[in-house]
Structure 1
Amino acid sequence: MPTLVASQLPSSAAPPPRPSWRALAGLTLAVALAHVLLLDLAPTAIGPDPSPLANKFITRTIVIAPPAAEKPAAPAAAPPVAQAKPPPPAKPRRPREPSRPRPVAPPPEPVPQPAPEPQVSEQPPAPPAQTPDLTAQNATDSGAAPPEQAASAPAGAVLGGAGSTANTGVGNGPPGEAAGAANAAAGNVVGPEALRIPGSVKLAFAVTGQQGASPMQGVFGDLVWLQDGSSYDARLSLKFLFRTIRSQHSTGRIGPTGIEPARFSESRKGEVASHFLRDQGQIMFSNNAPSVPLLPGAQDRLSVVMQLGGMLAGDPGRYPAGSRISIQTAGPREAGVWVFNIEGEEQMSVPAGDYAVRKLTRSPRREFDDKIEIWLAPALGYLPVRMKQTQPNGDFADMQLRESLPAGPSS
């Protein structure tokens, strides 16, 4: 039987052709481009990077107790010890007395010989003339002392009446932000009674407003507050669909005076930031604007909301209706003293429900200042349930609470 050579096999039994290397290279390039496109769109769709505190946050409230009252018991015990030491120096004075009579013994003989003794009797009238002058001087000195004490008393009254909480110049002091700045610059600072810094939380807001001729629609806001007991990270974001159109970011630490910012930034088309250089006592800005002195208790435009809530939560009775709170507040380009007027309790309905609230208003001080209104709910630990910002041209953004959620790694 003849054998079939490979070349004689029918064409249908031949192996299928292999794809060319050009086709494989084109397919690989298409897959790579698809991955690059997805990675490029991810930041705008997802939003800003997560906070470094997302994995170590805590949800408990931090209570900052007031500084302990001064106890001068230890220094008071020192003076009596100093008074017990003077008796030993009195002993050496006794041996000096016998030394005095020795020189007195030889001169008695020459003393009776001279006759100028009657002249000595003429000198006594001089001392009585000096004694009234000394009493007159004492009288004038005693009369000058009371006015000095009276002048210092009103100064103490000013410190007490315009005292500040958390080193911010708080109380029923003189009206106006200029007066608040003067008090803060003069060092009129009184320690806080107590603060309650809220635990980590996420607040979701529904946003309405007006921007130019068109109303603001389809915008949502998120305020994420994270803290681990010593440091904090706060971010306020406004989103349209899945895109972040504006955000504010504040980071820093939690200290004896409450929230102490280290950096604040605001992002729209680009990012601008302010830096709190506490070792230098300055606030510096990334846009090369002139730096300003850092006053005690300074906040930024985002942290000030949480600090105000912590102050009212720590001692609500300290802030009755009509009182004011003055705080140096820094933005990304400038800093100034903001004065918040506190109103009484009222009822408010927001998408999250009905709440009793305390309203704080920062009225415009200059021509281009914004009006800031904040409503804090005692039932939520004085967290904000509504925030409204109105610009001089009439544009505004009104954020009303939709829900309060525990913060977590996904926040």
Structure 2
Amino acid sequence: MKTPRPPWLLVAAVLALHLLLGSEVQRIQDGWVHDGPLPMPPRMQVDFVREMTMQAPVTARVLPRPPAPKPKPPRPEVTTAGAAPAASQPVSAPEPAPEPLPPPEPVAEAASAAAPPVAAASAPSSDEPGPEWPLSTRLTYQLTGNYRGPVHGRAQVEWLRKGSSYQVNLDVGVGPSFAPFITRRMSSQGRLTPDGIAPQRYDEETQFILGEARRASVFFLPDEAQLASGQRQPVARGAQDAASQFVQLTWLFLTGREPLEAGRVVQFPLVLPRRQYAWQYEVLGDETLATPMGPVAAWHLRPTRAAQAQVSGGDLVAEVWLAPSLQYLPVRLVIRQDEQTYIDMMLKSVPLQAAPESSNDIPRRLSQ
């Protein structure tokens, strides 16, 4: 005869099985609805092989798309000799000779006589960005600011691109490099289009020296964006995220789509993890900044008062200084949460760039 097993053993086995099944169901459900924090996306792998050199400001203009051909008038009906055409189908007048095409618009327009020329390039294809996009670039900054007292640290911005794909990474560390007490990574990735940057995903991760990392993600869908809360909102064309906005500004000024002049206001939808804004930057004027490369002239952009009045819930506001001699890339950034909490990032060393990845990059030679 078999010895009967104690009832509590059977009960424990059933409870363990239920717990295991419940955990697995919850894991699958979390995977379906993405309730849990998503991991940060992997970085693009790019080799930085040379230092960037200052150049005279150049505005690289993109060739306009040719207009759509006009429909040709209908040909007259052919009739037999001596027969008149039908009254309902009159013979059209002979087609006029085509007008001569105007000379092509120059591709590059120098801001000064000393500026190097920019060679013509074909319109960007679906696989290759146009020559107006900067090469992959790494910028390193010295960080100062205030967070419950004066703080110091370091920051780095990487603009990375492969074909028509891009990634922008902004890494900030507050405190000593060997043990920062706050680190934050902001990452944007998406596509390069004829209308500029088109983000597809934005992620940010904040890590305190004690405690778990906090993550938030935004996904850009056709005509709408999914915020960190999971809420979906309609979004207008040309929307940017917290990291892509700086390179979009670079592209707008580098291509001449927005002129750099004091008082100019540049606007686009700005989608942050909690909400979106109709954002506006005002061009305040040009200033000279002291950098490791020597004095650098840069244009100072700051959010308008109307834009700042919208901000709530701890969202960050950024000022930026763009240097025309460094391909309009940001040489200084000031990011504020409020008047007492901010970081000031000033270019610390010479920017590094990757080699051209295709023949489309070769004509520019702005960084050589």
Q: TM-score, normalised by structure 2?
A: 0.60
Partner AA of 2:62 in structure 1:
A
Which of 287, 290, 298 is residue 229 of structure 2 equivalent to? 287
Secondary structure in 2 aligned to 1:205?
strand
> Which residue number in structure 1 is paired with residue 46 of structure 2?
54
> Which residue number in structure 2 is paired with residue 376 of structure 1?
322
Structure 1 residue ranges without an equivalent (≥5) = 1-47, 93-193
Residue by residue, what CA displacement relative to the aligned partner does 1:363-399 show, whole Å, maximum 9, x if unpaired?
A: 3123636542100000100000000122235311110
Which of 198, 203, 209 is residue 265 of structure 1 equivalent to? 203
Partner AA of 1:293 in structure 2:
P
Which of 189, 203, 216 is residue 151 of structure 2 equivalent to? 216
Partner AA of 2:190 in structure 1:
G
Post-superposition offset of 1:255:
1.2
Post-superposition offset of 1:66:
4.7
> Which residue number in structure 2 is paired with residue 276 of structure 1?
220
Give the Cα separation in 1 of the matches to 2:320 and 2:131: 18
Residue by residue, what CA displacement relative to the aligned partner does 1:98-154 show, whole Å, maximum 9, x if unpaired?
A: xxxxxxxxxxxxxxxxxxxxxxxxxxxxxxxxxxxxxxxxxxxxxxxxxxxxxxxxx
> Which residue number in structure 1 is paired with residue 109 of structure 2?
none
Give the Cα separation in 1 of the matches to 2:192 and 2:164: 5
- Relative distance call for 1:310 and 1:273 in structure 2 (3 A) is same
> Which residue number in structure 1 is paired with residue 127 of structure 2?
none
Give the Cα separation in 1 of the matches to 2:229 and 2:255: 36
> Which residue number in structure 2 is paired with residue 406 of structure 1?
352
Post-superposition offset of 1:262:
0.6
Partner AA of 2:309 in structure 1:
R
Partner AA of 1:52 in structure 2:
M
Give the Cα separation in 2 of the matches to 1:303 and 1:206: 21
Give the Cα separation in 1 of the matches to 2:184 and 2:298: 27
Give the Cα separation in 1 of the matches to 2:66 and 2:260: 21
**2:186 is the alignment partner of 1:248:** yes
Give the Cα separation in 1 of the matches to 2:138 and 2:350: 6
Alignment of 1:355-366 (within 5 A): 355-363=296-304, 364-366=308-310
> Which residue number in structure 2 is paired with residue 226 of structure 1?
160
- Relative distance call for 1:382 and 1:316 in structure 2 (3 A) is farther
Q: Which has the larger radius of gyration?
A: 1
Partner AA of 1:396 in structure 2:
Y
Alignment of 1:121-200 (within 5 A): 196-200=132-136
- Relative distance call for 1:83 and 1:53 in structure 2 (3 A) is farther
Give the Cα separation in 1 of the matches to 2:240 and 2:343: 22
- Relative distance call for 1:390 and 1:50 in structure 2 (3 A) is same
Post-superposition offset of 1:327:
0.9
Residue by residue, what CA displacement relative to the aligned partner does 1:188-239 show, whole Å, maximum 9, x if unpaired?
A: xxxxxx9932110110000110112x1112x100111111131011111012
**2:140 is the alignment partner of 1:204:** yes
Residue pair 1:250, 1:303 contacting (<8 A) in 2 also: yes
**Farther off after superposition, 399-408 or 202-211:** 399-408
Residue pair 1:64, 1:258 contacting (<8 A) in 2 also: no
Residue pair 1:360, 1:374 contacting (<8 A) in 2 also: yes
Which of 85, 89, 97 is residue 88 of structure 1 equivalent to? 85
- Relative distance call for 1:408 and 1:51 in structure 2 (3 A) is farther
Aligned-residue RMSD, C-alpha: 3.5
- Relative distance call for 1:367 and 1:303 in structure 2 (3 A) is closer
Partner AA of 1:70 in structure 2:
P
- The percent of aligned pairs where both chains have the same amino acid is 27
Partner AA of 1:259 in structure 2:
I
- Tell which has more relative contact order, 1 or 2 (C-alpha 8 A, sep 6+): 2
Which of 330, 333, 339 is residue 271 of structure 2 equivalent to? 330
> Which residue number in structure 2 is paired with residue 339 of structure 1?
280
> Which residue number in structure 2 is paired with residue 387 of structure 1?
333
Give the Cα separation in 2 of the matches to 1:199 and 1:292: 33
Give the Cα separation in 2 of the matches to 1:293 and 1:341: 25
Post-superposition offset of 1:357:
0.8
Residue pair 1:322, 1:342 contacting (<8 A) in 2 also: yes
Residue by residue, what CA displacement relative to the aligned partner does 1:31-60 show, whole Å, maximum 9, x if unpaired?
A: xxxxxxxxxxxxxxxxx8862343699999
Partner AA of 1:381 in structure 2:
Q
Give the Cα separation in 2 of the matches to 1:300 and 1:401: 22
Post-superposition offset of 1:292:
1.5
Partner AA of 1:54 in structure 2:
V
Post-superposition offset of 1:347:
1.6
